Amino acid sequence: MVAPSLGAIPVGVDAPQPPTLTAERWIVYDADADVVLASWNANDRAPMASVTKVMTSIVVLENAELTDLVTVPGFVSGLRGSVAGLVPGEQWTVGDLLIAMMVRSGNDAAFTLGNAIGGGSTEAFVDMMNAKAAELGMNDTHFANPAGLDAEDHYSTASDLLTLIIASQDYPDIQRLGRIKVVNMPPDPNGKERTFENTNKLLGRFPGNIGLKTGDTPWADKVLLGVTSRAGREVYSVVMHSDDHFSDTMELVEWAYGTYSVRDRWLRPLYSEDGGGAQATSTLDLSESQERRLRSLPALDDGRWRTSALEELPKAEVIGRWIREAIPGIAGG
């Protein structure tokens, strides 16, 4: 039998259909298979709020040491939104400022870091952020400040924010920060204790959640970049302009873990539809339960969400090799 063309194998074979969320834009990604499982309005530009601070962290880590001392500038005392209670004139290490920014989501910590790394210029630091975004291929993203405050020229897309999640996983310090639930920080100059609780309420409450960052502003509404790890399978999620970013993320991630693995995706084309049911096109060394599993995989309906096309998958060659090795009678000639 002639082996099926790998380029002709469809990938839209997940069940059940993705959930209906309050988020106006979202995307969910299987990190192990390197596959976008589904998305909705993922290329629409919109405000991103404090998830901006993930990019701020990347630029800081590439340009400073965690032990470097930074003096808190006077202008941060007038910042609006979420703050960590920094006092102008006190000194913090870069590492502690990253905790204040990523765990407490302190805008004062973000501007303190940006001012320091930018050589006394927040604008120079923002230029560094935009240069990094361009380097990563985040072509629909532009930063106007290091904290995520609403501004006309401060925006991103769900697709670009997924790229940001993927990039952030190359930085162990960002992974560590995303996992911190509660942390005690040095007291302020007046001796007042400072305890920061992570703004990500899924930590310790939603199975497998290990980060990454929340956001919430009047223009952006609620935003969440999620990283979930269960049984050796990692799922990344982005929800934007959500009424409830935690509930939306939980629904999306539970759906993602209910989808079939990449091996199921590539075995499914070995079955053809006949009289309303799937029948094997050849004899395979599969158990009855495995055959039932394959037959249950329906095609995804048309819509504004989509799965990755085969030619877009960096691991297409690996998948093809696995098929040829696992099913030599069908795909190996």
| Structural domains of the chain ordered from first start | 6-17+261-296+300-331 (no CATH), 25-258 (3.40.710.10)
| Gap between the Cα atoms of 127 and 139, Å rounded | 15
Distances (CA, A) of 193 to 28, 83, 104, 313: 39, 15, 14, 49
Give me the residues of the chain with pLDDT under 50, please: 1-15, 271-283, 298-307, 328-333
pLDDT digit string (tens) for 52-100? Answer: 999 999 999 999 999 999 999 999 988 888 999 999 999 999 999 999 9
Q: Across the strands, what pairs with 69?
A: 93
Q: CA torsion, points 305, 307, 310, 316, in degrees to nearest 10?
A: 150
| Gap between the Cα atoms of 225 and 48, Å rounded | 10
Query: What is the reported pLDDT for 304?
Result: 40
Query: What is the reported pLDDT for 258?
Result: 84
Q: Across the strands, what pairs with 222?
A: 216, 242
pLDDT digit string (tens) for 216-245? Answer: 999 999 999 999 999 888 999 999 999 999
Residue 292 burial class via C-beta count within 10 angstroms: exposed 0-12, middle 13-18, buried 19 and up:
exposed
Q: What is the mean pLDDT of the chain?
A: 82
* DSSP line for 148-174: ----TT-BB-HHHHHHHHHHHTT-HHH
| Pairing verdict, β 91-93 and 35-40 | unpaired
Distances (CA, A) of 319 to 33, 201, 296: 9, 36, 21
Q: What share of the chain is helix, strand, coil (3-state, %, to 5)?
A: 40, 20, 40
Using alpha carbons, select from 33, 41, 37 the residue that is nearest to residue 12.
37
| Gap between the Cα atoms of 167 and 165, Å rounded | 5
